[in-house]
Amino acid sequence: MKTVKIKKGWQFKIAGKPSHRIENRPAITHVAFVPDQIPFVKPRLMVQVGDKVKIGSILFEDKKRPGLKFLSPGCGKISDVTFGPRRVIHEIVIALDNDERFKTFEILTEPVLEQIERKLLIDRLMNGGMWPFVRQLPFRQIADPDSLPNAVWVSLGSADPFQPSAHIYLKGQTDFFEFGIKALRRLADTVNICRYNETPVKSDSTANYVTHRLFGKYPASDPGVVLYHTKKNAAENRDWYIDGQDVIQLGKFLKTGAYPIDRMVSFSDGSFENSCHLKTRMGIRLKDLAPGIINDHRKRWVVGGVLSGYTSIRDDFLDLHQTSVMLMDESHESELFGFVRPGFKKLSNSRSVISAFSSAPLPINSDMHGEQRPCINCGYCAKICPVDIMPQYTFKSIYADEIEEALACGLLDCVECGLCSFVCPSKIELTDFLVDAKHRYHKEINQGV
């Protein structure tokens, strides 16, 4: 077992960490599939409003790669298909039947799994809607099934305490997890299982199969960060990765032959009482996750992590890949003499506030805490960047259209953790700028495809 220590990053100091309590949150009337959060996929709809679907029926496939199928997370009638800007499919909403039925897939036994051809296994996963869980660095799109990666990285546990704890989602699921790992071993020669412990534990049920033990601050558990700190050559850049919870789903799918829809989601609204783990299902409506919260007009729903997530609304649904939902205060009131206040309750990575000298968790809101200004070259972003890309110079290279220079600085090593934007005193949208440049580059190199 290797030990990987990552020095740079940010120690979370945010109040409302989800507790280890588990609550059930069944879907009430509707679930949905949210295609527009999946990068670089162009959906071709295979259903219409009014169609009947089972759990595991196909909803749409990727226009660019027709074998890549996306399956229904619910059984019932397609009640609505909503479109976003430029006719991008936003949501495919399914009104649930009372009695839900599964579409059945072929069961794979362990001896068969050991024998099965790699190509056949991939086909099976593609048809079973499981392939979207396997993703590829550095663009974080769904993995290219025709490529052979150097390794698959499995992440167990997150340095972001607002993500579900691996300890919780592994409980009682170790069989499925191990089966999932066996399936992954058929896909790549090396399967690296990275364990990040949220809290130090003496005995750990995962100790047998973990290959990398991770230490460090957020985002030390990100597969991109681990890869950056362990890679030996450029061939490893296109490695695949999968989340620990999705490995369980993978194992479950192959073992039971049913499209697995259960999900462990961590929820936080900043309070101690409501922040916990929720046992729920894929594609659930956000407001069904927090039935107690009725009045949220001064709140913001952030899906997918405090620092890397996107904004949603209460009537939207949970995206395929996301397992964390946070309800944070919206910024609404200007602060008198905000910049000379000593800052007993201000959250800052810098030492310019009093609270920097204590480790007590602090409440957060979605305010910028200042206005945008030109870059003053303070170097705060370079100091915190976990993959040493010096965001202040990389972003200026992109600004000057010197994409080669930005790539040399390590643009593609960016793990999209959000820390550079977070710490910037000039409030420059560094992460957004870098991610946008990555996406444009991806489009450029895949133009012929």
- Binding to other proteins in span 221-240, by CB under 8 A: 231-234, 237
Alpha-carbon separation of residue 261 from 26, 39, 181, 385, 389 (angstroms): 11, 21, 19, 35, 38
- Please list the alpha-helical segments (H only) found in 44-117: 110-115
Q: How far apart are CA 240 and CA 154, in angstroms?
A: 9
Residue whose pair of structure tokens reads 């072929």 in the numeric block: 106
Pick from 256, 314, 425, 442: which binds other proteins (CB under 8 A)?
425
Number of residues forming the site for other proteins (CB under 8 A) = 74
Smallest separation (angstroms) from other proteins to the CB of 351 = 4
| Site for other proteins, residues 9 to 68, rule: CB under 8 A | 14
- Closer Cβ to other proteins, 117 or 333, answer by number: 333
Pick from 9, 56, 145, 418: which binds other proteins (CB under 8 A)?
418
User: What 3 state SS string does 268-279 have?
Assistant: ECCCCCCCEEEE
- Closer Cβ to other proteins, 210 or 385, answer by number: 385
Phi first, then psi, for residue 333 (nearest 5°) are -125, 130
Residue whose pair of structure tokens reads 């070259």 in the numeric block: 377
Residue 103 DSSP one-character state: P
**Binding segment for other proteins among 62-70, 167-175, 247-255, 323-331 (CB under 8 A)?**
323-331
- Closer Cβ to other proteins, 203 or 334, answer by number: 334
Phi first, then psi, for residue 365 (nearest 5°) are -140, 175
Smallest separation (angstroms) from other proteins to the CB of 236 = 8
Residue 444 DSSP one-character state: H
- Closer Cβ to other proteins, 169 or 380, answer by number: 380
Q: How far apart are CA 300 and CA 289, in angstroms?
A: 14
Would the CA dihedral through 225, 227, 232, 238 be positive or negative?
Answer: negative
**Binding segment for other proteins among 58-66, 164-172, 207-215, 402-410 (CB under 8 A)?**
402-410
293 binds other proteins (CB under 8 A): no
Pick from 79, 127, 174, 426: which binds other proteins (CB under 8 A)?
426
**Binding segment for other proteins among 95-103, 187-195, 273-281, 416-424 (CB under 8 A)?**
416-424
242 DSSP β-pair partners = 154
Q: How far apart are CA 302 and CA 187, in angstroms?
A: 33
- Closer Cβ to other proteins, 182 or 300, answer by number: 300
- Closer Cβ to other proteins, 311 or 446, answer by number: 311
Q: How far apart are CA 442 and CA 411, in angstroms?
A: 12
- Closer Cβ to other proteins, 257 or 410, answer by number: 410
Smallest separation (angstroms) from other proteins to the CB of 435 = 9
330 binds other proteins (CB under 8 A): yes
- Which residue type occupies 392? Q
- Closer Cβ to other proteins, 371 or 401, answer by number: 371
Concatenating the DSSP letter of every residue in 238-249 gives: G-EEEEHHHHHH
Smallest separation (angstroms) from other proteins to the CB of 448 = 17
Using DSSP's 3-state secondary structure scheme, residue 265 falls into: strand
- Which residue type occupies 145? P
**Binding segment for other proteins among 25-33, 188-196, 272-280, 331-339 (CB under 8 A)?**
331-339
| Site for other proteins, residues 142 to 171, rule: CB under 8 A | none
Residue 157: Cβ within 10 Å count: 24
| Site for other proteins, residues 65 to 104, rule: CB under 8 A | none
Smallest separation (angstroms) from other proteins to the CB of 258 = 34
Beta-carbon contacts of residue 237 (< 8 Å; ≥ 6 apart): 137, 138, 227, 231, 412
| Site for other proteins, residues 333 to 392, rule: CB under 8 A | 333-340, 343, 346-353, 364-371, 373-379, 382, 388, 390, 392
- Closer Cβ to other proteins, 146 or 333, answer by number: 333
What binding mask, one character per residue, do residues 297-316 give for other proteins by CB under 8 A, x or -?
---x-x---xxxxxx-----
Residue 217 DSSP one-character state: S
Q: How far apart are CA 388 and CA 284, in angstroms?
A: 37
| Site for other proteins, residues 128 to 147, rule: CB under 8 A | 138
